[in-house]
Amino acid sequence: MSEFIWLDDYKIGHATVDAQHQHLFELANKIVEAGSSEALTHLFMLFYQHVREHFEAEEQLMKQCRYPGYVQHISAHNQMLEKLNEISETIFDRHWQPAAIKAFVTRWVLVHIREEDRLMGEYMHTLPEYRSDTCLTTE
């Protein structure tokens, strides 16, 4: 049974963002199930890379949409990247605890998706140009 279960309730109504969130859940599950330190190292690096690219995509989107909460949202992203950095140190030092990834996903990722990403989604839905897979504004 997977540790992290994706629920439709987590969707913010933007196809790309929702797909990326779901993918991060899948990767997080693989991390906690990793059977060796080589697998754990690889999966964690993959996870970090996907988190990084996902944040970049969201930040691009927010900028295109001129989202007023842009600065605070980026600050939350940076805090989460810092948190991931801390976890990666523990993997390197071999003091890794699966509980750390569990805490990261439940206390950071889920809270961020359900609060900050949801607000971002709600704002995008108010835009006249909004489509469910992008955010284009006329210049």
Report the interface residues with another protein, using CB under 8 A.
Answer: 36-39, 41-42, 44-46, 48-49, 52-53, 56, 60, 81, 85, 88-89, 91-92
Q: Between residues 22 and 85, which has the closer beta carbon with respect to another protein? A: 85
- Closest contact distance (angstroms) between CB of 114 and another protein is 26
Specify the residue, 20 or 41, whose C-beta has the smaller distance to another protein: 41
Q: Write the CA distances from 8 to 5, 71, 112, integer angstroms.
A: 10, 27, 15
Surface-to-core class of residue 43, CB atoms within 10 Å of its CB (0-12 exposed, 13-18 middle, 19+ buried)? buried
Q: Shortest approach of another protein to residue 13 CB, angstroms?
A: 25
Per the CB < 8 A criterion, the answer to whether 31 and 90 are in contact is no
Query: Beta-strand (E) ranges in the chain?
Result: 130-131, 134-135
When the beta carbons of 32 and 110 are compared against another protein, the nearer one is 32
Q: How far is the CB of 103 from another protein (least distance, A)?
A: 20
Q: Which is nearer to another protein, 85 or 137 (CB)?
A: 85
Read off the tokens for 85: 């950095």
Question: Please, what is the minimum distance in Å from the beta carbon of residue 76 to another protein?
Answer: 16
**Alpha carbons 114 and 55: distance in angstroms, whole number:** 15
